[in-house]
A and B are shown apart, each in its own frame.
Chain A
């Protein structure tokens, strides 16, 4: 159905703010009214995002639903929003997971009003990050997103929440500060080259940068996104942030915030500096593989379920990065699909852990044992989530992981083999945890009287299990929507600048084609 010029992306981005306004006027006491309004807002938000999926034109790497308004005329910064194959599903994932996590935060009863306001504000900024095509606008959403997340972890978190919140904030801040330096450099290079001031992604992509500076710029961008992914050496903030964040917070943190790192690599870091991508490919692949194996091994020995799932995220996202840097069609689309799968399966795991945390207020594995007897439905949903996370065929994890490793094997066989060990290790730590929590007799008396899922929790789990089976059994609609953008990304990351014109929907002008041929 033709969308005409209905500014769907702006509506999507700023609709939660309407919710914030409504909640702001509700009295603090009637907590339920606040919860339901927040939930209804997030449901409407999800419904608005559905037409994106259907009205998405297949086959073209062009950006769709584009909106461009002058924002800061004196600097040449535009309010430039648009999505393509890569960001379509990330936006859908955002709205879907936010809806579920708001529904899952019924157990929050301290300052519910501020909680819901910061949650909806977080959703606005997240969608903004994914849809922004103007570097300054991207940076604005990228930084502002930290504030609500900082409040979520800091105010409603666990015992060491403050340390985790400040560590999370500063870690990301240091990274993005260097990125700001790189953006400024590109901004002025573009001004020197073309005489016009502009932050647009397309314009800056066409830049010719002198090779001496390119590695430093690449590393500046890469550091900011590597911290967010998190890649191996920069991951220590993740377990703390996840363990201390409230349930809904860690769902969003794992489900979406980590994807911004990989999204950053795909949208900004690699297309801008193809020469540096070749130069650092081995380094980043090695870090990704270390991340995979390291994350899995450390997850094996965790006593706290949430920390275990956090380290498993490090491992899964290592696979995504492996896929990205292997730079062929199968591995990149596998990596992209793995990002969405990880969002769903880890989101599900966190929701589940949150449910038993609400009942028993502890996350240590040894506190539990034999719960399957008392909570059979919960046990089955947990099992589905576990198997989706460790990549059982028929569920979503397998498709992404297999494609990534398959593609990676084509270009870098050794790294793919090392990455494939993750399948064994993920099965090991997840099943071992599952066994210690759900099987064996019930030793702890408190576990005896655990109630099974109530209706609300049941709905959440049913909703999150559906995409698991959908992607597992019929991933074609996802893959075909991603394919053109992934091909464009690979061309860009390999240095063919002419793709940019297709992405803008304009016809490729010969000048750049010729100059590009000369340059290579």
Chain B
């Protein structure tokens, strides 16, 4: 078990903890920040372990920069108070929820035995490889994303614009 693997485990633990932070923190702003931490850490994970430099950078720019910031704007817009999470700690809903999730995780991880192989290829995947695949095979989904964004914009205006 090399230093490399150990660091991966530690790193993974941190990512997981930040995920738990998103769920556990009472104040939505804190949750958002926890998510920010999680996303950046995954970006670092991509860069360091999963040899996906381009993706890490895009993750930072798009995910964190655009989506999360936008969500933070919205949170700020609606002065959202702390949610009293305490009452849910021992409530049956938590137990049921936790139980279901644990069973789900157990089920999926049970499939781990079928997972073989290791991420050994040191070859980094750069923007060039992504680009020539993106613009040959997946050009239609690429165009469809534009429709997606256009539709989302139209919908957002229809719903949220003040004076119609």
Are A and B in contact, CB atoms below 8 Å, in the complex?
Answer: no
